[in-house]
Structure 1
């Protein structure tokens, strides 16, 4: 990891260049993808990369949503990737690795169109799209280094942290789903129409006690209930076939009332007005521990505002890859202690959870007792 960036303020060489740069930047950041202005040609920004290099640390983080040192580490690793050519940076001619990472970070941190993104960085719309796709693919290729199911000492640390904070022993993670808004897909669009009357794909995640993702599943249609998404996921198959390996020493994950209580998932008691005081207290502790996954989603969507809307493209595979890539980037920021101040309270995962499936077994009762 590179050292912290200098706090010395640097000034652009040309004051008029800075004025033009800020005008384009503000327009691109504030614009919406479905605005009529998104179709208008805009003058390409000149010397934008020089202006980026002249930013002080605070401005850089405000615009790129992470510290310059974190971006520099990404640029270095991207340039050293075995999957990329040294001459054309992954087949994208005339786009340096540095510029490629900047383009990707600007796209996932804002809601600009590809036309606006291209104008900002002086590239074509197709190049802007290819660049975002390439960097997202790169991040997924290194994802195992940052998103993985905890084992051994790592698992013990998570269990101890949950127990220290919430007085419940055995928790290895908290699970939940959130919806990523998309444009109506060309095929089977009705499957993606969710209960909020919007089109979306589902992001399912398990997080540790520090809001870091330890398992991610993305791409299921928005009409599916959370438990159905889990049943279709790799996590469920692993839990069924390799239970002792995934959940050693009777550890478990916690989820809200959308999930059944089993030998590896513990959900709160359903409240039909007859809960005992101890059951109510358990639900309170359970809720205080489970909120970490909602906070993680809030932090993710506040930092990477692209997840608030994907209304320009309909390529579901590409959208899914971008979503997964920012989950990886989210973990990288946490590992590097690259915090995003005042973000957690801005976006809440307020989806109403309604059970739409019958659960014949409730193995979690003894665990809760």
Structure 2
């Protein structure tokens, strides 16, 4: 009877009924369907309640991270606003849903069944918590680079990987996604899959220094790097990199550099290996490639740890692009947070990187400035000199590790 009355009200042609029509529309279209009995039992039978029965070790394996500290950072940002719900979802439960999502890689619908929520609710929670983690934890887990910060990173590379003046290893990976609607071939990459590109710089302890997750998979590698924030700051000299200084046996001051693979151009502040045609009969160039590879492997290992620790990277993301970007950024921050924890808390999850998911960038051939060649040659001379050589490097090069 009420719906008949409302429909008759909408059929009225009187201008004086305009306000009443708005009320009628609101009443019809905002009316919520009754909750199912399954969803009503979230507080007693949902996965968030049942996980409290887990032991401490299983709890850590279940979420991949102890989230009490993280909850303290983002609690205020994810608190529910005033609503008509008698039992709104709590902040701890929201964080638990997000952490379980990135730890398991389950789809939103599967998460909704286990936590007794709708898949739309799970999607909103993941998007909200990921944004809050990036907002609150970025200053702690991924601080902005200063001259002192870069110097500290360079010291770590020299101590651990014997590469002086190295301030980070750079690499990019294609993060697979489901084809976005009405996107055409914008995200279609050279492996015939759909992706966005995660460009990252990593320090000697496998922690992300800076990340860029904005590029579409269809762009060429030169365009991806050239349009990245890193390339722009390198070009504008706004990265606060320390000035060039001397290293043993080299007369010219040597700049601080990033190390990358063949997917990146050779620049004054970015070293890439010699091409294959230049190392076939050249021992010195082989040594340089070996030494650069030792330092560059940190970024490969970082991607491997990230993908094995958070299994959401094991399959293509099936959510909106904005949510994908937020989840990837938040996962990188949580990776850094774990790297600051005792090593025993993260080593157990370290496995080989699933290559079917994080695809490497293609190799490129670009012209490089002459000064970049001089910098690379100076590093080569240092690595084969008594002051910079390693006892085992000759045997490694002879075994083909270059």
TM-score between both structures, scaled by the size of structure 2: 0.73
Could you tell me which residue of structure 1 aligns to residue 333 of structure 2? 328
Q: CA deviation at 1:204?
A: 0.5
Deviation string 1:166-209 (CA, Å, 9 cap, x unpaired) is 22210000000111111112233312111222111110000000
Determine whether 1:366 maps to 2:361: no
Could you tell me which residue of structure 1 aligns to residue 179 of structure 2? 184
Q: How does 1:56-71 map to 2 (within 5 A)?
A: 56-66=55-65, 68=66, 71=67
Q: 1:317 to 1:329 in 2, by over 3 A?
A: same
Q: How does 1:290-301 map to 2 (within 5 A)?
A: 290-301=296-307
The 10-residue stretch of structure 1 (153-162 or 137-146) with the greater mean CA deviation from structure 2: 153-162
Give the secondary-structure state (helix, strand or coil) at the position aligned to 2:185: helix
Could you tell me which residue of structure 2 aligns to residue 286 of structure 1? 292
Structure 1 runs of 4+ aligned residues shifted over 4 Å read 84-89, 348-353
Could you tell me which residue of structure 1 aligns to residue 125 of structure 2? 131
In 1, Cα distance between equivalents of 2:172 and 2:233: 19
Q: CA deviation at 1:312?
A: 2.7
Could you tell me which residue of structure 2 aligns to residue 72 of structure 1? 68
What is the number of residues matched between the two proteins?
Answer: 322
In 2, Cα distance between equivalents of 1:197 and 1:157: 41
Could you tell me which residue of structure 1 aligns to residue 274 of structure 2? 269
Contact preservation (8 Å) 1:219, 1:316: no
Q: CA deviation at 1:93?
A: 7.1
Q: 1:211 to 1:362 in 2, by over 3 A?
A: farther
Gaps of 5+ in 2: 1-35, 245-254, 378-402
Could you tell me which residue of structure 1 aligns to residue 7 of structure 2? none
Q: 1:92 to 1:320 in 2, by over 3 A?
A: farther
Q: Which entry has the higher C-alpha Rg, 1 or 2?
A: 2
CA-atom RMSD in angstroms: 2.7
Q: 1:352 to 1:235 in 2, by over 3 A?
A: closer
Contact preservation (8 Å) 1:247, 1:264: no
Pairing partner for 1:113 from 70, 93, 107: 107
In 2, Cα distance between equivalents of 1:99 and 1:150: 34
Could you tell me which residue of structure 2 aligns to residue 15 of structure 1? none
In 2, Cα distance between equivalents of 1:231 and 1:60: 43
Q: How does 1:193-208 map to 2 (within 5 A)?
A: 193-208=188-203
TM-score between both structures, scaled by the size of structure 1: 0.80
The 10-residue stretch of structure 1 (153-162 or 250-259) with the greater mean CA deviation from structure 2: 153-162
Q: 1:207 to 1:311 in 2, by over 3 A?
A: closer
